[in-house]
Amino acid sequence: MQAALQNYLARMQRVLDHIDRHLDDDLDLDALSSVAAYSKYHFHRQFTATFGLSVHRYIQLARMKRASYRLGYGDAESVTDIAMDAGYDAPDAFARAFRQRCGQSPSSFRRSPDWGAWLMAFGPLDNARRKLMQIIFTRDDVTIRDVPPTPVAIMEHRGDRATLGATIQRFIAWRKAAGLSPETSPTFNVFRSERCPAVAADYIMDICVGTDQPIDANDEQMKAGVIPGGRCAVLRYPGNTNNLEPAALYLYREWLPASGEEARDFPVYCQRRLSFSPEMAVPEIIVELFLPLK
């Protein structure tokens, strides 16, 4: 059974690799199902079930992501040429789609990319690719770190996770208005309930941005707070993700009982920050899960 699963995943990986190499070609279902060696009548459903995106949506995002690279690092190319190569018949249609996806016009992105918004915009594409990865954590992945207290601005989400997206959008808008860029001000999520509580309305999470600037007492969206300092078990997640449940389960079920440590009276939380290096064409998001210890 395991061999059959590995064969299935390998065939799907061939499809992703083929799409990457042939973004300028006509990537229709006949061609892609042939690469996967599956019936074209079922392939699109298999693809969507595996990656959480339709074939068309995946290709659309892949072309848009490539276009964003060319905007950011290809000053000699015109927006019209980039739009045509991304599959759009006119630059204004491309501009509307790009703004809707990335929150900036192509020309604005070319001048000054908002990398935090960019990483969020293409999160669905990155998450789709990680569906083929089986992430296994070991004790060597966990470090114990003394963490200083961090003043934060907090937006509380209370209620069904299905409405979390709206809270995140309000948080992003507030952070932008406050001038707290993800490039300089880290983002924290404090998980105050299970990811899927028995009653959906009981889901609770705090979305925070690191800042010591005062919060207006009349601000109805944000409040000031502190993520307390102290010893923490820290587990870095390989890549950006909105589902840290496997990492949290590893810390609680396996690492903590075997470590001899005791958890402190503060919820598990994660920190997201942008990482830049000369070797990377674009930044990446570093996600670390913190389990506070006594």
Residue 6 has pLDDT above 80, yes or no: no
Calculate mean pLDDT across residues 143-149.
Answer: 96
133 within some domain: no
Domain with 190 in it: 139-292
Residue 244 has pLDDT above 60, yes or no: yes
CA distance 85 to 73: 16
Q: What is the pLDDT of residues 53-81, one digit of tens each?
A: 899 999 999 999 888 888 876 666 788 88
Last residue of a domain, one of 128, 155, 174: 128
Amino acid 278: pLDDT: 53
Give the predicted TM-score (pTM) of the model. 0.68
Last residue of a domain, one of 96, 128, 160: 128
| 167 and 238 inside one domain | yes
| 185 and 96 inside one domain | no
Amino acid 93: pLDDT: 92
Domain count, the chain: 2
Calculate mean pLDDT across residues 27-46.
Answer: 88
| 264 and 157 inside one domain | yes
Q: What is the pLDDT of residues 253-287, one digit of tens each?
A: 999 999 999 999 999 999 987 776 555 555 667 88
Which are the contacts of 70, defined by CB distance < 8 A and separation ≥ 6? 77, 82, 85
From residue 131, give the alpha-carbon distance in Å to each of 9, 56, 128, 275, 277: 9, 17, 5, 23, 26
Amino acid 276: pLDDT: 64
